[in-house]
Amino acid sequence: MNPIEVMVTSNLPAAFTTGLQKHFTVHHREHIRDPAVLARVKALVCAEHLALGRELMGLLPNLKLICVLGDDASLVDAKEALQRGIVVLKTRDVHSQDMADFAMGLLISSVRRMAESERVLRNGDWVDGPILPTGRVHGRRLGLVGFGPVGKALAQRALGFGLSVAYCDAESKEAEGAEGAEAARATFYATTLELAQHVDFLVLTQLAALKACGTVDAAVLQALGPEGHLVNLLNGADLVDEAALVSALQARQLGGVALDGFAEPPRVGPAIRQAKGSVLTPGMACNTQAAVQDACDQVLLQLKTFFAPTAT
């Protein structure tokens, strides 16, 4: 086993951490109590949506390498890393296709009320009367907050379902046709609110885009309306006004919501858990066996290559 000691954050898939433990001494961030252990850590592995700044880096005086599980390292304090000579490496995209698959599944489940209908069947309530008609997916308008790898992959799937596609994004004002047919056929809007005013379904795919274009508040939910549906793949506080979301569902001012991302996972408040018209999944969008293995292989290669002089 390589003598290098590695810290991992809690939001990494368990299977990924298990794979690392076969080659390195791995410490979970939340489980470290001995300052001496912090001093021995030379590499940190974290998910791409974890804010990693001076405070956490300061706990690790001998940190040499940060491996970001994903292709977005924008939340790592690059200035602090540069000043301390810490190398930051990303993995190539391993989960965009999986996330797009899952987002499409969440959207269909919400619009067609699959989870609610399953509960009716399992509870034996079908005998009480027929299931009411649901909404339709085909021919509706899909809005994507973020037109990065996940957004583009989801746009491809949406076109196959007969949806029109619109988006807002932090990076570019207009999609370039060279990036694929899905980009050439997508309509750009400047803000999340403006996008919500022109679509039936809104999917949050990219943190940077959501912060640049505007988070989801009561006005955005009102713009979606009683036949609109929201799908969220992103974790983080203040991305979605959960109180406004619950209120809109209770008042039937929003058609439905499907959440795989939450403000403080794995903690999810009772108001969200008990809200009618909601589909909830525990951070599963990117968690496929193939993606975990691919990411693990990449990070293992990065660690072994970087610390090659001390490898056994």
Q: CA–CA separation, 303 vs 62, rounded Å?
A: 15
Q: CA–CA separation, 261 vs 234, rounded Å?
A: 4
CB 248 within 8 A of CB 221: yes
Same domain, 64 and 23: yes
Same domain, 240 and 294: no
Per-residue model confidence (pLDDT) at position 286 = 87
Residues 166-205 have pLDDT tens digits of 999 987 555 444 354 455 589 999 999 999 999 999 999 9
| Residue 13: closest CA among 72, 70, 60 | 70
Per-residue model confidence (pLDDT) at position 174 = 53
CB 80 within 8 A of CB 54: yes
Q: Considering its fold, how many domains does the chain have in total?
A: 2
Same domain, 299 and 161: no
- CATH number of the domain at 303, please: 3.40.50.720
Range of the domain at 26: 5-94+289-310
Same domain, 154 and 176: yes
Phi-psi region of 90 (alpha: psi -120 to 50; beta: other; left: phi over 0): beta
Same domain, 83 and 101: no
Per-residue model confidence (pLDDT) at position 175 = 47
**Residues lower than pLDDT 50 in the chain:** 175-178, 180-181, 311-312
Same domain, 18 and 156: no
Q: Is the pTM of this model over 0.75?
A: yes
Same domain, 16 and 114: no
Same domain, 78 and 220: no
CB 9 within 8 A of CB 235: no
- Torsions phi, psi for 142 (to 5 deg): -105, 130
| Residue 206: closest CA among 152, 166, 159, 247 | 152
Same domain, 119 and 213: yes
